[in-house]
Structure 1
């Protein structure tokens, strides 16, 4: 049961406050934290760029779909070959 209680305790890690925990942190810990913050900021900027390009692509695809749909509706309205179509009369030939 000792490992289960340790796992439960490790489920939520305590947040670090730089002002309160300044005495507990080493200089290298602070340097690593700043380095990770910079890397996270760069990652966030990269993701933001991906999001913009994905939104542009989605907009372009939506415009393409709407264009194809409107063209199809327009071209079907122009077809008039079935308007003058008359059904042929059915003739029944009796075998003699």
Structure 2
């Protein structure tokens, strides 16, 4: 399954040899750039141990080597908005 926006991944050497030191990565989006079979371009943020974004990156990884740490929140259900009443306008006093 492709990563989704908001997913937090553990990216290790299994995903690509460039990750000798594993990182945590929060996905912004999967880029639709041409790649080899099983490989992906991901746009997102590298996270520190506290989960704070420290560096925005685009990474080239093998999908099979990615490990999910946290899934993206489920989309909110569509809500019906009620019509808003117009604000009553009054004359402006000057002076």
Give TM-score, length-normalised by structure 1: 0.23
Q: Which has more helix, going by share of residues?
A: 1
Structure number with bigger Rg: 1
Between the two structures, name the one with larger relative contact order (CA 8 Å, sep ≥ 6): 2
The structure in which a higher percent of residues are strand is 2
Q: TM-score, normalised by structure 2?
A: 0.23
